[in-house]
Structure 1
């Protein structure tokens, strides 16, 4: 039976790969994004653009639309987020609030609002995108790593909160993802060691599968090129 899957940040490089993987498996996919429209269409997907996931009303409206069109919500993949590199001395304090909002508050907001429907699923799944950089933050990574560390703690706490239900909560922790933006920002790097979006999508697909029904509260590093 086809599941109802939501991918936030679904218009971006990683989100699009994740959404495509679920669609290929025969699931009903909805992509929700802050951007107004997707650059590339995904056949059969429900695309909802222009959504600020820190806005409860806007997020609830998007969830209601998905539930109405797809008959509920079974899987939520929280890809939406952002990145900044700046030192504390030379950077902006506003970046700390912005990273918190983009990476943690977005995930917390949509997850809380989706929980009633996820708990109605026979096998609800929540998969968050953490970061390897949040395990040990390097210079300039403070604001980003702090927000992603929050995603890790959200994952662990929510997994315990939902222990008596059919919903699992896990996170994948990628190293550097091979995207055009990252290549442009780090032109002298060894791209061959970077993680491919499809490799991350494969891990997420596993965590959302019945085979991973006993896995919850896990923070899974994804660090090989793939």
Structure 2
């Protein structure tokens, strides 16, 4: 495992799903972790973990939360911009209010949180930002117009931030997961006519034939944040079961056998 001994990481949306897996992975790698979320009931208790209620759509709450983590742990070295919300539908399905809300949380939230954390990151000798993008940023998925647009923006924002901050010693990368088996996806599946069939369909579109686990995404996040990858910046690391890069032949149905007598 990549080590982050003595470093301080901040994870937005760290109360569940991928964010919570990141909190646990950073703690296992030797880091102290500040968890920023609206719901903190799932945050593990411990001397190296601090949960702070914060809303990535509210700059003042972010500023206060980040300052409290820095005060408690003596600084901040790593920021994981994980908080986000979903949207399902075509461009005809989501109204202007929904577009504004999703883009504000998923895109402006990344910029907002980064901006209030950068004064602390610039003081670190091992500063890193890891944004959570998505396979939806680069692969067209049906009924994900708004969500895909937001994650495409996160991908582009990652590259722009990396260019702006490289001379400040702050590395910026992103992880692009496929469909991850999280409570978020479970809630989406619950609205389907046949949740089990929908889950099988989601798993089958990834060449590995299964959903990605939150722990697998967290391992990639820790890898990119670790000082051991100090020359990696401006990159997007897919954790998608091969969905973005592999084109496997479709299964061939078995040939029909000879007709039974009397058929």
Q: How far apart, CA to CA, are the structure 2 residues paired with 1:40 and 1:67?
A: 18
Shift of 1:40: 4.5
So what's the TM-score if we normalise by structure 1? 0.93
| Partner-residue secondary structure (3-state), 1:162 | helix
Q: Which runs of 4 or more aligned residues in structure 1 lie more than 6 Å from their structure 2 counterparts after TM superposition? A: none
Q: How far apart, CA to CA, are the structure 2 residues paired with 1:205 and 1:133?
A: 22
Give the conservation status (yes or no) of the 8 Å contact 1:96–1:144.
no
Among 3, 6, 27, the residue aligned to 2:7: 3
Q: Does 1:166 align with 2:169?
A: yes
Q: Does 1:214 align with 2:218?
A: no
| Partner-residue secondary structure (3-state), 2:42 | coil
Give the conservation status (yes or no) of the 8 Å contact 2:13–2:19.
yes
Shift of 1:133: 0.8
| Partner-residue secondary structure (3-state), 1:128 | strand
Unaligned runs of 5+ residues in structure 1 are none
Q: Give the number of the structure whose alpha-carbon radius of gyration is greater.
A: 2
Q: How far apart, CA to CA, are the structure 2 residues paired with 1:133 and 1:64?
A: 33
Shift of 1:179: 1.6
The total of aligned residue pairs comes to: 223
Q: How far apart, CA to CA, are the structure 2 residues paired with 1:176 and 1:105?
A: 23
Q: How far apart, CA to CA, are the structure 2 residues paired with 1:81 and 1:152?
A: 14
Shift of the 55–180 alpha-carbon distance from structure 1 to 2, 3 Å rule, reads closer
Find the counterpart in structure 1 of residue 25 from structure 2. Answer: 21
Q: Does 1:100 align with 2:117?
A: no
The RMSD of aligned alpha carbons is: 1.6
Find the counterpart in structure 2 of residue 187 from structure 1. Answer: 196
| Partner-residue secondary structure (3-state), 2:168 | coil
